[in-house]
Amino acid sequence: MPPNKQMPDPLLFTETISPTDEAGVAEAVRRAAEEGKPVWPLGGGTSFECGLHAAKSGVGLSLAKLNRVVDHADQDLTVTAETGMTAAALAKTLAVKRQRLPVDVPQPERTTLGGLVAANPAGPRRYGLGTIRDYLIGFRAVDGQGTVFAGGGRVVKNAAGYDLCRLMVGSRGALAVLTQVTFMVRPEVEAETILAVGLPDDQTAEHLLAGLAQMQNPPVAIDLVAGPSWRNEPMVSWVDAGPSGRLLVGFEGTKPEVAGMSEAFAIACRRLGLPAPEMISSGKVDSLYRRLTELPVPSSDTERPLIVRIGVLPSAVVPTARRLRELDASCTVEAHAGDGILRVRFTRSAEETKKFVTEQLRPLAASVGGVATVLAAPAGAGLDRQTIWGPPGDGASVMRALKDRLDPKGVLSPGGMAFC
């Protein structure tokens, strides 16, 4: 897979290698380590905008040819597959047995299973269904010296000793090159729906969110959306959206369960003087979840926006969203309100991005007890480590030690994480 606009300037490949098996991956990493060349594992190329620009050129390691299902133990609700397989291909395999991997995946036709684990994207249904961290139970990988190792297993109850699976999730290829993963899966659901309601003010929004958190049968998604770009979203009416945006609430289960949960939410809305929630038609539910999951894919570098992730306590989501809109009325906010995660898209030039992040966004996040991370920035913004990730966290020294153990020469995805 050659470099292209989906694999932007942080990566400088002098060559791209496409091994056909795990042994080939190990040999490629071993050789690169001996030569002191950086190695970037390549999946679908959907997450390369996050991280530091490369200090030196290196090798792109494509996993595209490792794309088989190794074992689908449908009776045990587990599946093992090679990491070059796309999420969409795995979904088709699981659907034959009416099963699913219940995580929101951006661009599933391109996102590979290795990329899904390494980047750890999370969409709206993380509130009720969790993230890939909750489903990964085993893996095989190659460390920075070309040595194959494994963690976890192929059965659900295999937790013993150090949980390497959790360390691989979100490691962005900086600890090891994943070659095989094993997931827990779940049966498909009978029914699902999304209800949408406008928020006339912050107080109403907070009352509604508090009520959702106390429901006997909680929703799987609670998302607050606000900003100009949502006004043109064809899947969600903006007619009754108030100053605080619009709340999208997802339910799933049996048909009676979904009907009961939807009615309970409608009653909560009426008690707050809100109109009846809009029900998103069943044919649009998957498309809307995908819209809420995916970061925009720019058509060119000049159109790449500034996208920042801010993590706060769920109780701080509404006031944080308000302050962000006060800071920039043209920004677009997509908040997984039940989890305290806000993704915010700004239009900023490369020249003003660093100052905007360090002098305005990061202090705003800190003032509400939150943490800000830059997910994407305009080409040429020249962001440094602290601008992207902020000050080192409490676990930085532990992760640095682990990096040194697994990748002593630092060849794997340099700049991909705050600790490397």
Q: Kindly state the DSSP code that residue 86 receives in the 8-state scheme.
A: B
As a CATH number, domain 191-293 is 3.30.70.3450
User: Residue 371: helix, strand or coil by DSSP?
Assistant: strand
Q: Bigger pLDDT: 227 or 6?
A: 227
Strand-pairing partners, residue 112, are 86
Calculate what percentage of the chain has a pLDDT beyond 70.
87
What CATH number does domain 69-187 carry, 3.40.50.1480, 2.60.40.10, 3.30.70.1450, 3.30.465.10? 3.30.465.10
Given this model, what pLDDT does residue 48 score? Answer: 61
User: Residue 209: helix, strand or coil by DSSP?
Assistant: helix
Given this model, what pLDDT does residue 114 score? Answer: 96
Given this model, what pLDDT does residue 2 score? Answer: 35
Given this model, what pLDDT does residue 82 score? Answer: 98
Q: CATH 3.30.70.100 residue ranges in the chain?
A: 301-389
Q: Kindly state the DSSP code that residue 100 receives in the 8-state scheme.
A: E
What CATH number does domain 301-389 carry, 3.40.50.12780, 3.30.70.100, 3.90.280.10, 3.30.1330.10? 3.30.70.100
Given this model, what pLDDT does residue 133 score? Answer: 94
pLDDT at 314 over 70: yes
Whether 261 and 220 have beta carbons less than 8 Å apart is answered as no
pLDDT at 368 over 60: yes
Q: How far is CA 254 from the centre of its chain?
A: 27
Strand-pairing partners, residue 94, are none
Given this model, what pLDDT does residue 55 score? Answer: 62
| Candidate from 213-222, 307-316, 378-387 with smallest mean pLDDT | 378-387
Q: What is the mean pLDDT of the chain?
A: 88
Compute the distance between CA of residue 307 and CA of residue 129 in angstroms, rounded to an integer.
25
Query: Confidence band (pLDDT; 50, 70, 90) for 238?
Result: low
**240 Cβ contact partners less than 8 Å away, ≥ 6 residues apart:** 197, 198, 275, 278
Structure pTM?
Answer: 0.90
Calculate what percentage of the chain has a pLDDT beyond 90.
65
Q: CATH 3.30.465.10 residue ranges in the chain?
A: 69-187
Region 61-81: mean pLDDT is 96
Which residue type sits at 5? K
pLDDT at 160 over 70: no
Q: Kindly state the DSSP code that residue 359 receives in the 8-state scheme.
A: I
pLDDT single digits (tens) 171-203: 989 999 999 999 999 999 999 999 999 999 999
Given this model, what pLDDT does residue 416 score? Answer: 75
Given this model, what pLDDT does residue 394 score? Answer: 74
Which residue type sits at 91? A
Compute the distance between CA of residue 334 and CA of residue 344 in angstroms, rounded to an integer.
6
Region 402-415: mean pLDDT is 91
Given this model, what pLDDT does residue 268 score? Answer: 95
Q: Bigger pLDDT: 244 or 103?
A: 103
Query: Confidence band (pLDDT; 50, 70, 90) for 301?
Result: very low
Region 153-165: mean pLDDT is 65
Tokens linked to 248: 């999208």
Q: Which 3-state string (H, E, C) describes the chain?
A: CCCCCCCCCCCCEEEEECCCCHHHHHHHHHHHHHHCCCEEEECCCCCCCCCCCCCCCEEEEECCCCCCEEEEECCCCEEEEECCCEHHHHHHHHHCCCEECCCCCCCCCCCEHHHHHHHCCCCCCHHHHCCHHHCEEEEEEECCCCCEEEEECCCCCCCCCCCHHHHHCCCCCCCCEEEEEEEECEECCCEEEEEEEECCCHHHHHHHHHHHHCCCCCCCEEEEEECHHHHHCCCCCCCCCECCEEEEEEEEECHHHHHHHHHHHHHHHHHCCCCCCEEECHHHHHHHHHHHHCCCCCCCHHHCCEEEEEECCHHHHHHHHHHHHHHCCCCEEEEECCCCEEEEEECCCHHHHHHHHHHHHHHHHHHCCCEEEEEECCCCCCCCHHHHHCCCCCCHHHHHHHHHHHCCCCCECCCCCCCC
Region 321-342: mean pLDDT is 93
| Cβ count near 18 (within 10 Å) | 17
Region 65-77: mean pLDDT is 97
pLDDT at 265 over 50: yes
Q: CATH 3.30.70.3450 residue ranges in the chain?
A: 191-293
Torsion of CA 248, 88, 61, 390, to 10 degrees: 10
Given this model, what pLDDT does residue 15 score? Answer: 85
pLDDT at 4 over 50: no
Nearest CA among 251, 187, 223, 225 for reference residue 331: 225
Given this model, what pLDDT does residue 255 score? Answer: 95
Given this model, what pLDDT does residue 14 score? Answer: 78
Compute the distance between CA of residue 36 and CA of residue 30 in angstroms, rounded to an integer.
10
pLDDT single digits (tens) 9-42: 445 677 899 999 999 999 999 999 999 999 999 9
Region 53-73: mean pLDDT is 88
pLDDT at 310 over 80: yes
